A and B are shown apart, each in its own frame.
Chain A
Amino acid sequence: MKAKINTAGLMSILTKWGIVITILFLLALFGVLMPNTFLTVSNMTTILRSISIVTVIAIGVTISLAVNGFDLSVGSTATFSASLIMTMFIWYELSTIPSLIITLIVILSVAVINSLLIVKFKVPDTLATLASMFIFQGVAMTYSGGGSVSQNMIRLNGVATTGKVPALFLKFGQAPWIILIMLMIVIGVHIFLTYTKHGRYMYTVGGNIEAARLSGIAVDKYRTLAYFMSTTFAAMGGILIAARVGSAQINAGSGYLMPAVAAAYIGFSFGGLGKANAIGTLAGALLIGILENGLVMLSVPYYSLDIVKGLVLAVALGSTYFRKK
């Protein structure tokens, strides 16, 4: 009898804190395998830096998941915002602050289209954002003239550009700044979702939209807000991509979509919450990041990493959805 209760208790600890335990286990494992190189300050910084962009975009996904939606357009949004901010510098020779402001305002057109489709036209979230994913992938490409945006580029009409990317802006892409930005966003969103009434309303909407509506919650308003927030964070992710690389490459953001979705879903089980949450998303991204870093250092070929990432996602989802009868 006693043993039974203990196993049950252990199971519940495992399902609640599985991600954290896995992270600690991986740290220990790689630490033992590579005693001199893995657990160093510089390598830890590398890991944090490598996950920061994914995490910021994943936070956007997290907020859309909190209202039981799903924002597939975050990758395209990141691409578009990277292009936008780079053209502000290189084509229009604006300084950092006005460039950021204009980019963030223009990028909200994605949120407008998403929420219009979802809230007004009642298109299912996944399909609506699938459409806007394609739209803005194309918009970003068309806007930048089908190529990348970098310093000293020649525009399609043959005009040479002289704009420079400000040094201040490039700082955003460096450690420790990029890591601090990520942490601030995670903590801010965590506080928003957990401690403010707006966050609580979002979870309520996500839990049972009809009950939320009949409780007097302005359901449409909160769904719209969620999509505006997810677009904003995706855009910030795009800006960090640009700052990191110093240019805007073709489809730079689309590669981040799936890892971001994975991080957000892995985070569901964090602390036994069973719903999208900011800290869990960070933990999810961290788990993937550590694994990737460790395996690369162990000379596992980069093209095999996806197998491991996929497996981690499968195990995480399995433990989230698996219910012992």
Chain B
Amino acid sequence: MLEMRNISIEFPGVKALSNVDFGIQRGKIHALIGANGAGKSTLMKVLSGVNSHYTGQIFIDGRQVHIRTPKLAKKEGIEIVYQEVDTALIPYLSVGENIMLNSIVNNMNRKHFIKWTEIYNKAKEVLNKINVNLDVKTTVKELSLAQKQMVLICRAVVEECKFLLLDEPTAPLSNRETIELFRIVRDLSKNHNVGFVFISHRVNELFEICESITIMKDGAVVTNKKIDDRLTQQQVVELMLGRKFEELYPKSKVDIGEVLLDVQGLSDKEKLIKKVHMNVRKGEIVGVTGLVGAGKTELCKTLFGAIKQVEGEIKIAGKIIKIKDPSSAVKQGLALVPEERSKEGILVEESIYSNLSASSLSKYTNKFGFVDRVAEKHKALELIKELGIKTPSEYQKLKLLSGGNQQKVAVGKWLVSEAEIYIFDEPTKGVDVGAKQDIFKLITRLAQMGKGIIYASCEFSEILGITDRIYVMYDGCVVKELETANTNEEELLYYSTGGS
């Protein structure tokens, strides 16, 4: 039994947590949910010893503990697996070394030589314990995201952990990988008495795997509930947002016009996409779906010139065009909101206004190349209001914004550039329900303006909710074209998994 009482924490200018009570039991799986910025991660960082300046008490089995460093947290058997798995792994070391990293670092004491066989055997033992088939000698950089997560879970298990905190573990996983993760989580909680905190934005997942739930909003706990038949997903979302939840997908009638983008036989150099045919009409939202690794991102990037195209023809408004790099794609009226937001979409160290103008600075530039900074900031303020970006000012650095607000900026910068074709690659990844709705509204409005939209996502529910037409990809090929109105999740899954 782990209990947190009256936990508060403050960062310069913000009260991130106020008087939070939170508890989990060993052998149980407990859900933690809240909009971006609600304080979930902050609370978990208190438990894992990263945020050390909290006030309040923490008890384990009735005994008060003081967790002020990650090392102390580990000593109490609390382990955390962050969403960004790469930050905790050493890419050029082997799976075995990564699993055993803590014991190599902390348990060597006065020994100086590493016993490789012991390390590999122990790592193997742990992998067997949770039934994961991985070679302990492969280097971690060759692993998929899901496998990296397994490695981190193994590392926690080696340490005899009592409580394991998983911060949005399913966000980057495909359906099949999620099922595998659930199996491991259930196994560890039942058979090894590990208590889990499971953070996710996907409410349906939490209902599937968790027994109880804590809902947070604005740095405080809204409620603790048992997950049973009396609780609906709708209720959870409403409690989390603190308001009535409207229809997630804005419905609107858009007249679909003539073909805007026509792609024939597109392939890239690495053959990650093969002979793709597709088209997008004015005012149409076209979905591209498939499992993780099916080639959606690669298709988006090839269209945008970020991956070299070796075959095929791209026509915009009937005219054959050559896209040799992203900068020529932008000139042709294309816009891409990339999947890896913080790595590819935004400048974390820069202000909101310079992010918003990054793709359209020429608009504010006179013929001598000077930037009209007043107009630039004016436009930024307009967009902040229009997109509902929560920020004290347009000077705020992006790294201080929540994921959903960052994504709004990543989308917002293309609104200025007045593109004709918008490509969205997993735009709702790591974004809470409220911000998601804002993004959907925005996309619908772009469609109303007669833009062509490509919406790539592996979330079938989103694809079905927002698009007009769907291309399903499998192994780099478009295997099926479907009318959204006449299809369903089962059919999408069927074609995504290679059915034909």
Contact = CB atoms under 8 A, between A and B. Distances in A.
23 contacts: A195-B371, A196-B365, A196-B368, A197-B361, A198-B369, A200-B354, A200-B357, A200-B371, A208-B344, A210-B343, A210-B344, A211-B343, A211-B344, A211-B345, A211-B347, A212-B358, A213-B306, A214-B304, A214-B306, A216-B329, A216-B330, A217-B359, A219-B327
A215 interface: yes
Q: Please list the 9 inter-chain residue pairs (A to B) with the smallest Cβ-Cβ separation, ordered nearest first.
A: A216-B330, A215-B359, A207-B347, A196-B369, A197-B361, A218-B327, A197-B365, A215-B358, A210-B344
Contact of B370 (A8, A196, A211, A218): A196
A91 B329 CA distance: 51
Given A204-B358, A207-B347, A212-B347, 8 more contacts: A195-B370, A197-B371, A204-B350, A207-B349, A208-B349, A211-B344, A211-B358, A214-B326
Nearest to A220: B325
Contact of B371 (A196, A210, A218, A219): A196
Q: Which of B346, B358, B373 neighbours the largest number of chain A CB atoms within 10 Å of its CB?
A: B358
B347 A204 contact: yes
A194 to B, nearest CB: 9
Main secondary structure of the interface of A (DSSP, over half): helix
B195 to A, nearest CB: 29
A213 B326 contact: yes
A274 interface: yes
A201 interface: yes
B336 A207 contact: no
B201 interface: no
Contacts of A211: 343-347, 358
Interface in A190-238: 195-198, 200-201, 203-204, 207-208, 210-219
A208 B330 contact: no
Contacts of A212: 347, 358
B138 interface: no
B413 interface: yes
Given A195-B371, A197-B371, A207-B349, A216 B343 contact: no
A201 B330 CA distance: 15
Contacts of A203: 350
B158 interface: no
A181 to B, nearest CB: 22
A214 B373 contact: no
A229 B387 CA distance: 39
B346 A208 contact: yes
Contacts of B417: 216
A200 B304 CA distance: 23
Contacts of B325: 213, 218
B303 to A, nearest CB: 12
Nearest to B417: A216
A212 B16 CA distance: 32
A15 to B, nearest CB: 13
A213 B307 CA distance: 11
Interface residues of B, number: 35
B12 to A, nearest CB: 7
A85 B200 CA distance: 66
Interface string B348-375: 1110001001110110110011110100
Interface residues of A, number: 23
B450 interface: no
A275 B350 CA distance: 11
B338 interface: yes
Contacts of B357: 200
B79 to A, nearest CB: 22
B349 A274 contact: yes
Interface string A173-200: 0000000000000000000000111101
Interface in B355-404: 357-359, 361-362, 364-365, 368-371, 373
Nearest to B52: A325
Nearest to B357: A200
Q: Which of B326, B331, B346 neighbours the largest number of chain A CB atoms within 10 Å of its CB?
A: B326
B336 A201 contact: no
B319 to A, nearest CB: 19
Nearest to B359: A215
Interface string B304-338: 10100000000000000000011101110000101
Contacts of A216: 326-327, 329-331, 359, 417
B491 to A, nearest CB: 32
A283 B326 CA distance: 38
A218 B325 CA distance: 8
Contacts of B343: 208, 210-211
Contacts of B329: 216
Contacts of B331: 216
B165 to A, nearest CB: 21
B344 to A, nearest CB: 5
Interface in A139-169: none
Given A214-B344, A216-B359, A197 B369 contact: yes
B393 to A, nearest CB: 15
Contacts of B354: 200, 204
B349 A214 contact: no
A215 B413 contact: yes
Contacts of B365: 196-197
Interface string A261-289: 00000000000001100000000000000
Nearest to B348: A208
Contact of A200 (B326, B348, B361, B413): B361
A110 B88 CA distance: 41
Contacts of B364: 197
A216 B347 CA distance: 14
Interface in A246-305: 274-275
B347 A208 contact: yes
Contacts of A200: 354, 357, 361, 371
Interface in B150-173: none
A216 B357 CA distance: 12
A212 B331 CA distance: 15
B338 A197 contact: no
A201 B327 CA distance: 12
B382 to A, nearest CB: 19
Q: Which of A200, A203, A211, A214 neighbours the largest number of chain B CB atoms within 10 Å of its CB?
A: A214
A204 B338 CA distance: 17
Nearest to A201: B361
A274 B368 CA distance: 27
A200 B356 CA distance: 12
